Amino acid sequence: MMPLSVSIITRLQHQHETISELIGGLTEEQLKQRVDPAKWSAFENIVHLSAYQPVFADRIDRIEKETNPSFDRYIAEKDPLFPVYLEKSLGELIRVIAVDRSAIAGKFGGMGAETLSRTGLHPKFGLLNMRQWADFFLLHEAHHLFTIFQLVQELRKTYVR
């Protein structure tokens, strides 16, 4: 198996930085407002991204140590970190994301071909190798970044003229 692509490495190192760019000019209180009462706010999406990173890091560790570990679907509301992170400030969340991401990028950066070929069972997508897990992680994050973008644009209509 080839090493990780420049695209994956670069996104692991920098994609999360998009959060600060997307939310610029809005306060934490504004970001906490739900545009749609039935869906998460921009802040709650950020909380989810920060709370999911340790879960993902644990999954990567398990894939390294176990043979084809199987994972349950991640449900934020069942994650004990989610309510804890809801109480953190936006600045704290941004720092937590950066620190955890550095560790995740470091894990992947140090993987050789043998480790990259190891697999774990995703409940929806089946058996994924480490490269596919990295892509899944990044695409999941990108989905939430796009959601944050959409929510922030709705908020800007109200708060930024």
CATH of the domain at 64: 1.20.120.450
> Has residue 20 been placed in a domain?
no
> Has residue 101 been placed in a domain?
yes
> Has residue 155 been placed in a domain?
yes
CA-CA distances (angstroms) from residue 57 to 54, 107, 130? 5, 8, 12
> Has residue 49 been placed in a domain?
yes
The answer on pLDDT for 160 being more than 70 is no
Percentage of residues of the chain with pLDDT beyond 90: 94
pLDDT in tens, 90-102: 999 999 999 999 9
H or E element in which residue 147 lies: helix 130-159
Residue-level pLDDT at 3? 80
The pTM of the full predicted model, rounded to 2 decimals, is 0.95
**What is the average pLDDT value for the chain, to the nearest integer?**
96
Q: Which tokens belong to 37? A: 């009462």
> Has residue 12 been placed in a domain?
no
Among the listed residues 112, 13, 6, 115, the one whose alpha carbon sits nearest the alpha carbon of residue 60: 115
pLDDT in tens, 61-112: 999 999 999 999 999 999 999 999 999 999 999 999 999 999 999 999 989 9
- Total domain count for the chain? 1
The answer on pLDDT for 2 being more than 80 is no
> Has residue 116 been placed in a domain?
yes
Range of the domain at 53: 40-159
- Dihedral, CA of residue 43, residue 48, residue 54 and residue 60, to nearest 10: -140
State whether residue 40 is helix, strand or coil: coil
pLDDT in tens, 119-138: 999 999 999 999 999 999 99
